Chain A
Amino acid sequence: MSSALLVAALREPKSVAALDGSGWNALIAAARAERLIGTLALRIGAALAPDAVRPILTDARLDAEREARQALWEADRAAEALGGPVLLLKGTAYVAAGLKAGEGRFIGDLDILAPRERMDEVEAGLHAAGWEWVKQDDYDDAYYRQWMHELPPMIHRERDRMIDVHHTILPLTARQTPDARALMEDAVAITDRLSVLSPEDMVCHSVAHLLADGDLAGGLRNLWDIHCLLDNVDAERLGVRAKRHGIGRHVAQAQRLAAALYGGGRRQRLTVWDRLVIGRLLARDDWGRETRKLLRFAFYIRSHWLRMPPTMLARHLFTKWRKGHRPV
């Protein structure tokens, strides 16, 4: 199980000293598949890696540096397009704020948060600056606009980079209703054009994304984010914020999971549900392939179940199925 190797290497970099050739191959395959190779490269110093691995890690580090540079440039372009400060989320926010969670992190799209009542304005501003819709499908478009926590994704026509404009952190149909206004009110300015969520809200957002919404794809990386972000929070404040956003239970579980997989020291007691989630998070083999198809599928179904009420889910899945979409 190569994900377990990856988790061990991130938790305790010295553990890689025991790896043989096939162990390293499995570790590298898992780290690439989970998009944690840059993070791994920074955790393992050159001294711990055999000669054949060192250039692989150097490449990963350089890729992460380039991604960080590109991400900050995209954030700057978005601020320019919107004529004012942008509130950054996820990877770009971690890099902009110089947080440990941003070190070596893979950064895909640019995620920003803006008030729902300003969506038309934001959309028009981005459109004028060269961002275009990715999805041409009317059903998808309408679905996003009516029910999702974000606009349909846009892509810049010259730079080929995606932007996700969020107005809150969970779909509007989800059972929990995070307080988007509070997120924005407590944001912290990084420069005169960029701001990020407060440390506690960053954890809440990351947890909501991992446990209250997602099917846990890319979960090892999200959990690593949470593990790093937890270093910066005030435990009491975190509790208050989590409750306010309606995800207290999820934050508590994320803390248990992060401690179990990435934390040193004494482990907390894990529930059966925790163990199932860990089973899902570690479902990858020595070739970087996904394993435990049934468990993955169950989590996929569950992510939809959590997102919307049953009759709406049935209608949605039927429409998607008719259009030829097949899960997993």
Chain B
Amino acid sequence: MRHQLSLKIGPATFRIGSAWRQPVAQLAQLYADYPQVSGEIADFTVRLEPAGAFRRWVRPSIFITGDHGLADAAPMSLIHGLLAAEMGMNLQMALGWRRHLLLHASSVEKDGRALVMTGESGSGKSTLAAQLGERGWRLMGDEFALLDLVTGSVFPFPRLISLKNEAIGVVAGETPGERMGPLLKGTAKGDIRHLVPRADAVARMGEGAKPALLLFPRFGHAAEVRPVGQGEVFMRLTQASTNYVALGESGFRALTRFVQDVPARAIDFPSGEAAVALVERLWDELA
């Protein structure tokens, strides 16, 4: 491929190839402080290809694929190339990673223990993780929490944090500008702006933590905390995992252990400030 870059994020190495310079240049800039792995053997290949014969130049359109692809993935505009590259890495992980149970969750760490937050897109888990990451917690990731199949520890996957719509303003207000990526307007999920995790998150990206609390956050409601039964937690986490079925018995054992060992709560909150206060209080009580 014409332009390329290798990135190591947590335990996984990606080789990203692009028909255009721009997405690779943006990645190189935002991931500049990550470990240098060029020329190494990659776990996954990500490709950003023209969606049709002339779409490299005329209304450039990116088809995201790689080792593992989705035939019906919608092409993206070149101005959203950075997002396409990020989605490409997610896609490879979601479809191909087998060394951990993947939970579609954000996670942060304090004192060697991890707080895991999972929920639908729009639940506020990314924003909450980003905010906690700016306020004394170590950010582990906002997309996937990697659950070790044997030890039960959670490992980080600290890619860029993808902030959407209102969350952009909220987080940008308390973050130095050089850690924010370009504003991508009008994507399928609205406006998106990426946040580079703090240096400690990157430096310690190989370091796992024992999960101590699981939260199901929900943004936009009056503050409330509800218990969640183990059966429901188990079902929700199987749905939040992209490789639970593929892992078979080892995935089942890891998830069972997680559900039995980690207290879980559903939380509602009306604002970021309220959420952070609620999380800190629950952490002190439960974790």
Q: How far is the CA of A29 from the CA of B41 in the complex (A)?
A: 11
Closest to B248 in A: A66
B209 to chain A, nearest CB (A): 22
| A50-92 with Cβ < 8 A to chain B | 50, 52-53, 55-56, 59, 62-63, 66, 69
Kindly state the interface size class of chain A when it binds its partner: 20 to 34
- B1 close to A62 (CB less than 8 A): no
B104 in contact (CB, < 8 A): no
Closest to B39 in A: A21
A289 to chain B, nearest CB (A): 7
0 or 1 for each of A1-32: is its CB under 8 Å from B? (1 = yes) = 00000000000000000000110110011001
- B47 close to A287 (CB less than 8 A): yes
Q: How far is the CA of A289 from the CA of B2 in the complex (A)?
A: 13
A288 in contact (CB, < 8 A): yes
- B41 close to A287 (CB less than 8 A): no
Q: How far is the CA of A247 from the CA of B49 in the complex (A)?
A: 39
B46 to chain A, nearest CB (A): 10
Q: How far is the CA of A288 from the CA of B41 in the complex (A)?
A: 15
Indicate which residue in B41, B68, B246 contacts A53 across the interface (CB closer than 8 Å).
Answer: B41
Chain B residue contacts of A289, Cβ below 8 A: 47, 49
- B41 close to A59 (CB less than 8 A): no
B89 to chain A, nearest CB (A): 15
0 or 1 for each of B42-60: is its CB under 8 Å from A? (1 = yes) = 1101010100000000000
- A29 close to B39 (CB less than 8 A): no
A240 to chain B, nearest CB (A): 41
Q: How far is the CA of A25 from the CA of B45 in the complex (A)?
A: 8
Closest to B38 in A: A21
Chain A residue contacts of B47, Cβ below 8 A: 287-289
Chain A residue contacts of B45, Cβ below 8 A: 25, 28-29, 32, 287-288
Indicate which residue in B17, B99, B248 contacts A59 across the interface (CB closer than 8 Å).
Answer: B99
B273 in contact (CB, < 8 A): no
- B67 close to A21 (CB less than 8 A): no
Indicate which residue in A22, A32, A50 contacts B68 across the interface (CB closer than 8 Å).
Answer: A32
Closest to A62 in B: B98
Closest to B66 in A: A288
Chain A residue contacts of B246, Cβ below 8 A: 63, 66
B15 in contact (CB, < 8 A): yes
Chain A residue contacts of B39, Cβ below 8 A: 21-22
Chain B residue contacts of A287, Cβ below 8 A: 1, 17, 45, 47
Q: How far is the CA of A324 from the CA of B246 in the complex (A)?
A: 34
Chain B residue contacts of A32, Cβ below 8 A: 45, 67-68
Q: How far is the CA of A156 from the CA of B39 in the complex (A)?
A: 44
Question: What are some 18 contacts across the A-B interface (CB < 8 A)?
Answer: A21-B39, A24-B41, A25-B15, A25-B41, A28-B41, A29-B67, A32-B45, A32-B67, A50-B41, A52-B13, A52-B41, A52-B43, A55-B99, A59-B96, A62-B98, A63-B246, A66-B248, A69-B248
Q: Please list the residues of chain A having a beta carbon within 8 angstroms of any beta carbon in chain B.
A: 21-22, 24-25, 28-29, 32-33, 50, 52-53, 55-56, 59, 62-63, 66, 69, 287-289
